[in-house]
Amino acid sequence: MAHVTLVSQPKGLLQRYAWRYTRKMFGHVVEPVQAAAHHDGVLMSSGALETVVDKRWRVLEPGLAWLAQHATSLAIGCSWCVDYGYFEGVRTGIPIEKVRDVPRWRDSDRFDDRERLVLEYAEAINTTPSAMTDDLAARLRRTFSEKEFVELAGWVALENMRSRFNAGLGLRSEGFSDKCEVPAFVGATG
C-alpha cells in the first residue's frame, strides 16, 4: 500500500500533461506519477529527465540498457520496477527465458559476454559500498566506448532513482507482467 495518497484527479497544466503522457505510455495513469503529483518540482524534474532519456540516451544497445535497469530494480527489490521491467523486456522481444534468468545470470547460459559484463557491472555498483574495481572498469572499457560506458552508468543510476522513489513511497506492482504472454509449459498435462 502506498505511503502517500495517490492523486486521482489532475490539478493544473503540469499534472494534466503528466496524466496524458502516462496514459499514452502505459495505458493508464501510473502510481509513481500519482505520488509525484504532490510536489510539482519532483513531478516536473522527473518528467524532464525521462523525456531527455527517451530522446537522447540511444548509444547503448536497447537490450543492454534494459538488462542494466532490470538487474538494478531486482537488486533494490522494487516490485513496481521489477514488474514493469519484466513486462518491458517481454514487450521489446527479449526471450521470456532470458527475462526470467536475470536474477540467476551467473548460472544461466542465455547471456553472451557483453550481457554478462553489463550484469556484473550492475551487480557491482548496486552493492553498498560499491564493489566497482579497476579490473571491471578495464574490461568495460575494452568492450564499450566511453560514451556507452557513461550511458550504462546513467541507466543504472536512473533505475536506482526510480526504484528507490517507488519503494520509498510503498508503490507496488501494478500488474504489468500479468499482460505478458507466457508460453505453455511443454509436456504439461491438462
112-142 per-position pLDDT tens digit: 999 999 999 999 999 999 999 999 999 999 9
CATH number for the region 62-178 comes to 1.20.1290.10
Contacts of 95 (CB under 8 A, 6+ apart): 110
Domain locations in the chain as residue ranges:
12-56, 62-178
Query: Please, what's the b/e burial string for 108-136 (b: 16 or more CB within 10 A of its CB; e: otherwise)?
Result: beebeeebebbbbbbbebbeeeeeeeeeb
Closest CA to 69 of 137, 141, 132, 162: 162
- pLDDT at position 182: 53
Judge if pTM exceeds 0.85. yes
Kindly give the interhelix angle for 134-143 and 113-125, rounded to the nearest 10 degrees: 140
* Residue ranges in the chain modelled with pLDDT below 70: 181-190
Rounded to whole angstroms, how far apart are CA atoms 36 and 6? 9
- pLDDT at position 66: 98
Largest CA distance in the chain: 55
- pLDDT at position 105: 97
Rounded to whole angstroms, how far apart are CA atoms 97 and 122? 20
